[in-house]
Amino acid sequence: MAILDNLGKYRNTGLLLLRIGIGILFIIHGFPKLAGGPSGWRGLGGSMKVIGIDFLPIFWGFMAAATETFGGFLLIVGLFFRPACKLLVFTMIIASLVHFAKGDGLQGASHAIEMGIVFFSLIFIGPGKYSVDKK
């Protein structure tokens, strides 16, 4: 379509919009977990049992909550972009495995899988021109 041919020059704007949208949603999703404190972190960190890690559940829960919250912020500003995406991919892998372990199947795990694919792709794409990490 000829009308859409010129949109390629707005690639970095599209990437910025993607980063802002997903970043805001992850802050909204992660902050209640972060604010939940040690008792909430213990339950969240217990999810690591799906890969055989059953020690320090409060630490792992805090890390997951912090990754979602601060990872969302880092996504928005494009700072430490690739390391943040790597942590978010790991978090989404654990979330997917938890859904499968609970018997939710692909339908229940699909959101975490989809977001994991997005974050994995963003590792290769980078933050784009409108970011603190721009090169």
Torsion of Cα atoms, 71 then 95 then 46 then 75, to 10°: 0
130 inside domain: no
Asked if 34 and 69 count as a contact pair (C-beta separation under 8 A), the reply is: yes
Give residues with Cβ within 8 angstroms of 38, minimum separation 6. 58, 62
Q: What is the pLDDT along the chain (135 residues), one digit of tens a residue?
A: 667 777 778 889 999 999 999 999 999 999 999 999 999 999 999 999 888 899 999 999 999 999 999 999 999 999 999 999 999 999 999 999 999 999 999 999 999 999 999 999 999 999 999 999 876
85 inside domain: yes
3 inside domain: no
CA distance 85 to 133: 13
4 inside domain: no
74 inside domain: yes
2 inside domain: no
**Structural domains counted in the chain:** 1
121 inside domain: yes
- Residue numbers of the domain that contains 105: 13-125
43 inside domain: yes
